[in-house]
Amino acid sequence: MSQINAIGLDREETQNVIESLNRLLSCYQIQYMNARGFHWNIKGRDFFELHVKFEEIYNLLLEKVDEIAERILTLGGEPLHAFSDFIELSQINEVKNVSDGGQAVQSLVDGYSTLIKMQRKVLSDAGDNQDEGTAALMSDYIKEQEKLVWMLKAYLD
């Protein structure tokens, strides 16, 4: 059997990227559900502003969940799809019963900081494997989320 897969990447290195992407997918699923919960449960003076912002955020997260799962499939892997796997592998903790805007925004900042760190690692591993597709995806996510973290932190200040 060839060491190179159908899209020209080293099989063993690609398996490492697939595993990292599944861990990232798990984190995205938890971050998504946290954002959904914040959208549903937000209360207070900033309700109207944050309700809309949290919906925007969870829609962005859901889009990335699908893109990451499809990238795993493209690489020849199988994306995780059970919540028990997501809970087990996620480096982002689920957050329950938060209705305070500041607490919700801080939780999102913390989650995005984790995602950015993980994406930098996937970017590096993908680059080492000459996996431009995965590297480009991670680069786009990092750029978008660095700006979002800045904006969310500005809200907190």
Domains of the chain: which residue ranges? 11-156
3-state secondary structure 68-101: HHHHHHHCCCCCCCCHHHHHHHCCCCCCCCCCCH
1 falls in which pLDDT band (50, 70, 90)? low
CB contact at 8 A, 99 and 44: yes
Predicted structure pTM score: 0.96
pLDDT score of 50: 98
Class (C level, CATH) for 11-156? mainly alpha
